[in-house]
A and B are shown apart, each in its own frame.
Chain A
Amino acid sequence: MTTIRQFRSGRAAILLLLAAAVTGPLAACYTLVQHPRVESLNYRRPEGKSCTGCHTSRAINDYLHPEKLASDPPPWDSLTHPWWISPDSTGGDG
């Protein structure tokens, strides 16, 4: 009984590891291959394209404010501001 329980918990852990290890690199690869370079965009809309065509406004807003929890008040928020987004960038429409 103990062996079966351990086997199941081991299998669950393996599946969890597999999911995490596969999804992370895939998300990164998709962006690097399919998406315009994020650094060059800096959230200015590319000609003839709109970020909102693919992303919801909520997602764009979340991305522009990745600290999410608002747990980093000034002046600590400077450490959580993404280096690839200009401090004066307001974003919003992708």
Chain B
Amino acid sequence: MSSRGAACILIVVALASIGPGAMRTARGQAADRAIEFEDLGFTRPGEPGVRSSALCAFAASATDATALVLNTAGLARVKRVHGGVALAYDGSRVDVDYGNGATGDDQGALRLAFAGVAFPIPVLRGSLVPAVSVHRAFTSDLAIDYARDNAADGRSETFEMEQRGATYAYSLGVGTDLSSALSAGVSVFGLDGSIDTQRQYDWQPLVTDPAEHTFVLEDIASDVSGYGAQVGMQLFLHERASVGIRFNTPTVINVRSVGVHEETRQVDNDVGSFVREETDVSTEYIIPYRVDGAIAVPVRSLLVTAQVSYVNWGEAAIDGRRILTQETDPVLDTVVGFGGGVEWSPARLPLRLRAGFEHAPAPLRYLQTDRIDNDRLDRVQVESGRTRIAAGAGLLLRSRIVVDAAWVLTSGSRESNILRDQYRASLVSVQGTYWF
């Protein structure tokens, strides 16, 4: 295929991914489902780069195959053919507290985080670098467990949810030097993944006359697909400073969920019922566009980098409908995050040490406080935001093999009038890269 033909395909796919997010503005009843963006992991994009995970900034400093995901323009700085594989262990815990004590369960799994190769080709202005990769775009592991008296619905209830799954992005892109100081890149990706969810809950009326007890089991298997695109730019303002800008188009995600809903109702006079229903539901989620801007400055043996990210979550949509309350207040709102890190390369040692910090508010401005009926949003009153601290190291072996490792700890809490939740997650990732 000629490079012009390939460019045409890239443009068509990129434009197709912009359309749905940019044009759909209708209001609807999707507000109560806003929590699904968070439950499915769509608000926590994957971390394909072990080095960038530790630095907490990537748009100006990604210089290997992971640049295909982090900032496609960074591919232009790849000057040798190489391939890398990264594995990551994600552990997380969500504690929910309705005022009667926090409860939650630990979740964790080891999965592929990134695998990719880049092929630099010399061209007039430097290099043209095509690359392909697969990376974990979203992790959907989640465990929620609580019991409470629900006065509004007049019942005592328990709720338990266990969910496991991951969605991978298959990316194809190219970065190139446009001049001695400017490089640019473009990429497209398709999503494929699966999520298994089990929800179990039961309730009894607070006033028992007669005594009733209802048990529900939902077992749902979901297939995830989707697509999106990215454009990146890196500009060398000065030999001691470069800036990078990454623009991710809105991402369209289709989730088809096939499940079983079993409801058993017991009554103390032995009159009860059992209902089993099979469900098959398809939902389209739109994740809004995202812009990241970063600067990288080398100072002797240090590389200092900082980054700002912007996502207008108010543009998120479910089945074409934006997520607004009846008062037209957005349930998810704009998020501006900032982060930065430092990398130290000791003179003449094949070792690099790095550390970073990042902070961003959570997109949800309302919490779903009734997960059984999914019908009660409560505005967040106090929020700590999501804070990440990270550390890592890189080791160069035999001038060709690079082994990177990173450890990231993320935490945050939110509080509404009805509930308080606390999120903690740890990530340990290792990447091996061979440079030909």
Residues of A within 8 A of B (CB): 2-3, 6-7, 9-10, 13-14, 16-18, 20-25, 27-32, 35, 38-39, 58-59, 62-63, 66-76, 78-84
Contact = CB atoms under 8 A, between A and B. Distances in A.
Nearest to A18: B11
B336 interface: no
B240 A7 contact: no
B80 A29 contact: no
Interface residues of B, number: 66
B110 interface: no
Nearest to B304: A71
A16 B247 contact: yes
Contacts of A9: 22
Nearest to A16: B231
Contacts of B81: 83
Given A13-B289, A14-B15, A22-B7, A7 B22 contact: yes
Interface string B22-35: 11010000000000
Given A38-B123, A79-B80, A82-B79, A68 B236 contact: yes
A3 B125 contact: no
B399 interface: yes
A28 B175 CA distance: 11
Given A21-B14, A66-B79, A79 B127 contact: no
A6 B399 contact: no
4 closest pairs, A vs B, by CB?
Answer: A62-B180, A10-B22, A31-B124, A38-B122
Contact of B128 (A10, A27, A68): A27
29 contacts: A6-B22, A6-B25, A13-B249, A14-B18, A16-B231, A16-B247, A17-B14, A21-B10, A21-B11, A27-B124, A28-B3, A31-B122, A31-B123, A63-B125, A63-B126, A66-B77, A67-B77, A67-B79, A68-B242, A72-B345, A73-B347, A74-B347, A76-B352, A76-B396, A79-B80, A82-B120, A83-B80, A83-B436, A84-B122
